[in-house]
Amino acid sequence: MTGYLIDTNTALIALTNPGELPAKVRTALLTGPNKLSVISYWEVVIKSMKGSLKVGDPGSWWRDALDQLAATPLALRSEHVTEIYNLPPIHKDPFDRMLIAQAMIEELQLVTTDGEFPRYASTRLQVVS
């Protein structure tokens, strides 16, 4: 596994209250290399539009998140979508399921504060929580 994929909630906490993150998560974020998926950007935009998340301008949030987390963007590819079919139905959130699939395909460790993600841990997915 080479690098880390940061889940959306972890990115949000890291940018506003990093002291609330578990030590393992903070260490992973500082160690890198980090990736932030465009799926997280999409999720932030959707939730901002609905009014359930306040980040100001989502475009500025995305640029700040990439900069402050020293992350490079991870684009969505067809292989990621295909991998969702193989995931057990543990997690119902489509954004989270896509992040899990991306981490598996890209061979990245998934950095999360979500208690459901470790249930997907396997030889193909390492979860840092």
Mean pLDDT, the chain, rounded, equals: 96
Which residues have C-beta within 8 Å of that of residue 42, sequence separation ≥ 6?
95
% helix, strand, coil for the chain, step of 5: 55, 15, 35
CATH code of the domain covering residue 83? 3.40.50.1010
Both structure tokens of 65: 């998140």
With beta carbons less than 8 A apart as the criterion, state whether 10 and 40 touch.
no
Number of H-type helices and E-type strands within the chain: 6, 5
How much is the pTM?
0.95
Q: Which residue has the tokens 């998934």?
A: 110
Helical (H) or strand (E) element with 118: none
SS3 127: strand
pLDDT, tens digit, 9 for 90 and up, residues 90-124: 988 999 999 999 999 999 999 999 999 999 999 99
pLDDT, tens digit, 9 for 90 and up, residues 12-27: 999 999 999 999 999 9
The total domain count for the chain is 1
Both structure tokens of 10: 């972890």
H-state helical runs in the chain: 8-16, 23-31, 38-50, 58-68, 78-84, 94-106
What domain range includes position 112?
A: 4-128
